[in-house]
Amino acid sequence: MTATESASPWGQRLEACQQAIEYRFQDQDLLRRCLTHSSSAPTRLESNERLEFLGDAVLGLVVCDFLYRRFPQCPEGELTRIKSIVVSRTTCAQLSDELGLGDCLSLGKGLGHGQKVPRSILADVFESLVAGLFLDGGLEPVEMLVKRCLVERIEQEAEAETRNYKHLLQQLAQKKFTQTPDYQLLDEQGPDHAKCFQISAVIGEDFFPPAWGVSKKEAEQAAAFNALGELGALEHFDAPLPLPSAEMSDEPAHGEAAADDLSAADGVDRRVTTSEFGAGVFEDPDTNRTE
């Protein structure tokens, strides 16, 4: 790129983009095409649309390869769940925002000039840049970009799932009993604005100790936790807590104080939510392998 080209608006966009992604393109025309939206291109073939198509596949490949190597004990369904989140259009748009790619785009009238860039276009440009990196330098620069931008998100999603007791119970039930757990509402107390719910996890014909929660979602998580404990699948918790059950807690009183009256007569608060469980891991009882 000549000094004159570098000083031009296009040259400034290209330079800003390369600094953001920490990669210098050998083919500057390819980078220019990555940043050209169809609204400003002479023809659609000269826009980033074809690159977006390729980038979607390349990003999926690199992320799947990373997930496969990073989590050797994860089942296919869990790998698919994490991948679907970290390569989603929402995530791609967020990454474009973080890298400032919206300021590097060439947009047609009505889309540029200080207006907010649509999220769909931000997602497109990230995918097109992934394709550009692949065509210009192979998989290595794509892997470096994924490492910089996505590994932390991947780890967060994997960590979040260790606290999802419904998901862990589903994995165990399908593996050991070839059945999917259900959740049965046993009771609900309190006024409409402050209800409490008692729910039990059910696998086949087996009911597990029920749990109270201030929402159905929290009660289901606590009920799944109880079921995992009954099945001997809980290995470690940072902060073990007593869990609610029909035997352990009094029936909540009617009215405004229903939630507070979930405590047993001994004064122990039996209301447990997912945020109180602490970090648990799932142990396969058959193999003693942590998943």
- pLDDT, one tens digit per residue, over 230-244 is 998 876 444 333 343
Please, where are the H alpha helices in 100-234? 119-137, 139-149, 151-161, 165-177, 216-230
Structure tokens at 78: 């869990």
pLDDT at 53: 97
Provide the 3-class DSSP secondary structure of residue 49: helix
Average pLDDT over residues 256-260: 37
Whose structure tokens read 């004064």?
267
219 burial (CB, 10 Å; 0-12 / 13-18 / 19+) is: buried
Q: How far apart (Å, rounded) are the C-alpha atoms in residues 179 and 71?
A: 25
Structure tokens at 36: 């050209």
- Between 60 and 162, the more confident residue is 60
Instruction: Residue 274: name the closest of 200, 198, 220 by CA.
Output: 220
Lowest mean pLDDT among 94-98, 109-113, 164-168, 268-272: 268-272
Q: In CATH, what number does 165-290 get?
A: 3.30.160.20
Q: Which of 52, 56, 220, 291 is catalytic?
A: 56
At 116, the pLDDT band (50, 70, 90 cuts) reads confident
Structure tokens at 8: 């031009």
Lowest mean pLDDT among 25-29, 110-114, 163-167: 110-114
Has 127 been annotated as catalytic? yes
Q: Distance of CA 40 to CAs 2, 35, 198, 275, Å?
A: 23, 10, 58, 48
Ranges for all domains in the chain classified under CATH 1.10.1520.10? 3-161
- Between 17 and 289, the more confident residue is 17
CATH architecture of 3-161: Orthogonal Bundle (1.10)
% of the chain exceeding 70 in pLDDT: 76
Other CB atoms within 10 A of residue 287 CB: 9
pLDDT at 282: 33
Strand 280-284 relative to strand 289-290, pairing: antiparallel
pLDDT at 168: 84
Ranges for all domains in the chain classified under CATH 3.30.160.20? 165-290
Q: How far apart (Å, rounded) are the C-alpha atoms in residues 120 and 97?
A: 12
Provide the 3-class DSSP secondary structure of residue 27: coil
Average pLDDT over residues 30-46: 94
At 161, the pLDDT band (50, 70, 90 cuts) reads low
pLDDT at 77: 80
Q: Which of 52, 78, 124, 127 is catalytic?
A: 127
Lowest mean pLDDT among 99-103, 215-219, 250-254: 250-254
Q: What is the mean pLDDT of the chain?
A: 80
Q: Are 199 and 223 in contact (CB under 8 A)?
A: yes
